[in-house]
Every structure is written in structure tokens, then in C-alpha cells.
Amino acid sequence: MLKHGDVWRAIDRLAEEHGLSASGLAKRSGLDPTTFNKSKRITRFGRPRWPSTESISKILAATESSLAHFVDHVAVGSDEESYVHRIPIVGLAQAGAAGYFDDAGFPKGSGWDQIAFPDVTDRNAYALEITGDSMEPVYRDGDMVVISPAAEIRRGDRVVVRTHGGEVMAKVFLRRTATRVELTSINPAHGDRMLNAEEMAWMSRIVWAKQ
């Protein structure tokens, strides 16, 4: 069921996404700067006041956002700590190719396909589309896993590792010493790996999966 507060929160999130306050978003959209003020969200009789379809249309045009993107924000619901944002989708071939990532494992450039994911607070997170069977039975061909370069990695976490040679693999992290990284395979048909520290370009934690 669509709730009054969810729509107003979606407006606030759209404003935040573009580095604006709610009044700044209204002004950019050619509306009265007070249009989205907290006081305008309730009538003087204490009843919820809904934003007009015209005002929503204008903020979408001003921010070059689609209705689907706005609905992504609405769909978060009433949990103030939840957040939906759009993250880039990277294929396995791109993950292994040169030039797509920086030294810290963050995707570089723009023009990526994107997908909306909830509850991903790392703004450098991205989705990796699985191909092949090397990660079965946990992750299958076509699944999406969300990678968070900022997430702390602990023993037993599932991770994606890229070597300087361009090999990309999903493994379970065992331990890391000053000279090597020990990984065990998700798919028992594929062997465990022990990498010298200088072989590894980056390692990031898998924090979410869409299957």
C-alpha cells in the first residue's frame, strides 16, 4: 500500500541524490521554494497532504530522472535507515579487463548499466553479473552479487578477488598474512587458491545477492 510518508521521503531522497535540500529541489524545478517544506506536508487540520502529480513531474524533469527511478525511492518504505540507490553493473569479462577499475577496486568512468538495490550504503558499491558455473551452487549463471569495496573483510566472508593478471574469482576468504592470501573455493569442483600478496590487485566483499 502506498503511504503518504513514503512519497515525501522519495522526494527528500531525490533531492539528496542531487546535493539539494527539499526547498532547493523545488526552486530548481520552477516551484515555490516552500512547496516541499515539512509544514506543507500536513494540512492545518492535521491531515496528510500529498504532493501534486505536477510537482513530481517537474522535479523529475529538473533532475533528468525517470518515474521508475522515483518509484525506486518510494519502494524503500517507511524505514528511515533504508536507502535505495542505483549502482553500476559490471560483467565478469569487464571485471577482468584492464582500465575498468582503479587500484582500490572501484569501477572507473561512466556509462555503466545500472540497477537499483536496497540497503547498500557504500556509494562505491557495484553489482557483478555472474557468468558460468565456477561459483555454483551458491551463485549461478545470471545471478547478481553486490560488491562493497568499503566493507571490512573477515574470515569466512565471500569475496571477489582480481589479480594483476586480470583473473577474477569469487572465493571464501580464509586468512591474509604479510606475504600471501589464502582463499577456499565456493564451488568444490574448483581448487582453493593461495596468492602471493603482490599478485592480488584488489579483494572486495560480497555483501548482497539477487538470485
Q: What is the pLDDT of residue 30?
A: 95
Q: Which domain holds residue 25?
A: 4-74
Which of 74, 99, 126 represents a domain boundary (last residue)?
74
How many beta carbons lie within 10 A of that of residue 158, not counting itself? 18
- Grid cell 522535479 in the structure block, residue: 59
Q: What is the pLDDT of residue 203?
A: 92
Q: What is the pLDDT of residue 61?
A: 94
Q: What is the pLDDT of residue 67?
A: 86
Distance CA 96, CA 117 (A): 23
> What DSSP string describes 174-208?
EEE-SSEEEEEESSTTS--EEEEGGGEEEEEEEEE
> Is 206 a domain residue?
yes
Say whether both 166 and 107 belong to one domain. Answer: yes
Say whether both 128 and 195 belong to one domain. Answer: yes
Which of 31, 55, 74 represents a domain boundary (last residue)?
74
> Is 24 a domain residue?
yes
Say whether both 60 and 107 belong to one domain. Answer: no
Distance CA 1, CA 77 (A): 10
Q: What strands lie across the sheet with 126-129, from one edge to the other?
A: 114-118, 84-91, 126-129, 144-148, 200-210, 158-163, 168-176, 180-185, 193-196
Distance CA 211, CA 209 (A): 6
Say whether both 135 and 175 belong to one domain. Answer: yes
Q: What is the pLDDT of residue 107?
A: 66
Distance CA 114, CA 125 (A): 11
> Is 158 a domain residue?
yes
Say whether both 70 and 98 belong to one domain. Answer: no
Say whether both 138 and 204 belong to one domain. Answer: yes
Q: What is the pLDDT of residue 29?
A: 94
> Is 112 a domain residue?
yes
Say whether both 52 and 125 belong to one domain. Answer: no
Each residue's pLDDT, cut to its tens digit, for the chain (211 residues) gives: 567 788 888 898 888 888 888 899 999 999 999 999 888 888 776 788 889 989 999 999 999 988 888 887 776 554 444 445 667 777 665 665 666 666 666 666 555 666 666 556 677 788 888 877 777 888 788 888 888 888 889 999 999 898 988 888 888 999 999 999 999 988 888 889 999 999 998 899 988 876 5
Say whether both 100 and 202 belong to one domain. Answer: yes
How many beta carbons lie within 10 A of that of residue 42, not counting itself? 12
Say whether both 173 and 106 belong to one domain. Answer: yes
pTM, two decimals, is 0.53
Say whether both 68 and 89 belong to one domain. Answer: no
Which of 56, 74, 92 represents a domain boundary (last residue)?
74
> Is 124 a domain residue?
yes
Considering its fold, how many domains does the chain have in total?
2
What is the CATH number for 17?
1.10.260.40
